[in-house]
Amino acid sequence: MIGIILALFCAVFVTLSQITLRKSYKELQPSIAFFFDAVFGLLMWVPLALVMGVNFGVSFKEALIFAVISAILSEAIVFFALSKGELAVTATVLATYPVYTVFFSRIINHEELTTGLLFFVGVAIFGSVWASLPDKVKKTDLKLRKEIVWPFVAAVCIGLSDTISKGYINRSGDFSFLFMLGFVQIPVALAYLRIERESVVKALKGTVLKFNSYKYALLGGFFNIIGTGFLWLSFSYAPASIASPITGTSGALTVLLSHYVLCDRISLRKYIAILVTFVGVLGIIILRA
């Protein structure tokens, strides 16, 4: 039950992150938002890991490898994918990542779900994807092009990264992974800035001289770090094939919260989809209680 609650907290903060990142991309490159994300990760994840417990006797080389994989696959690529194409379509494709987490968790970590749990997991994933789907989508929007390919790649990468990270967390039994991830994201963020021809100096100056333009990137990175922190905490108490679909409800939550924050219209279909999502979550909670 603790793992499920933590996963729900993750979904809430990831939702806040996605909404604020939408605004930041109107002004800035995603690499700048990811740089702030990495800084917040260093400041928040490292102390959290030390409080929760880090065994410095475990293989830090292995922790480093998985931290690099996670920083690239489930963080940097996602920030990049969110900046491509219409966010309505991008968010829909990204919302499918729990499908890949469940699949990879079965193959790699040998996680098995009961028939009842698998049903409600499927309901939660279906509802979230359905809620994320725009009301009006043209066939041309779904053609295989970079606006679709990158979110799809990101969704698969999240599923794979979450699965192998969960495997390491199971083996280590502590928070060495989160500790190492807090440090690893910094060089990954610097490399990302270089790829997009941005600089640390510009990012830091912007927070002082152009705070109104940078505030959403700061908030997006801050909320994402909190949400991801809850994700790794949930992985310590629940299987990835359970925690991931619950965190995936952020797709439905984003639609719901966007109505109040961004004044987006919500159709009857989306209300039904949001209800379906939380029926799935409720079913998981009842069966795992």
The helix or strand, by DSSP H or E, that contains position 108, with its residue range, turns out to be helix 97-108
Whether 137 and 89 have beta carbons less than 8 Å apart is answered as yes
Copy the structure tokens of residue 278: 């939380």
Q: Provide the residue ranges of all domains of the chain, joining segments of one domain with +.
A: 2-288
Strands in the chain per DSSP E: none
The predicted structure's pLDDT at residue 267: 76
Cα–Cα dist 93/148, whole Å: 7
Contacts of residue 168, defined as CB under 8 A and 6 or more positions apart, other chains included, come to 62, 63, 66, 177
The predicted structure's pLDDT at residue 65: 82
Cα–Cα dist 204/89, whole Å: 32
How much is the average pLDDT of 106-130? 82
Cα–Cα dist 15/254, whole Å: 5
The predicted structure's pLDDT at residue 261: 64
Report the range of poorest mean pLDDT among 16-30, 170-184, 188-202, 251-265. 251-265
18-76 tens-digit pLDDT: 778 777 766 677 788 888 888 998 999 889 888 888 876 656 677 788 888 888 888 77
Is it the case that residue 146 has pLDDT exceeding 80? no
Copy the structure tokens of residue 284: 């998981």
The predicted structure's pLDDT at residue 18: 78
Cα–Cα dist 26/216, whole Å: 10
Is it the case that residue 83 has pLDDT exceeding 60? yes
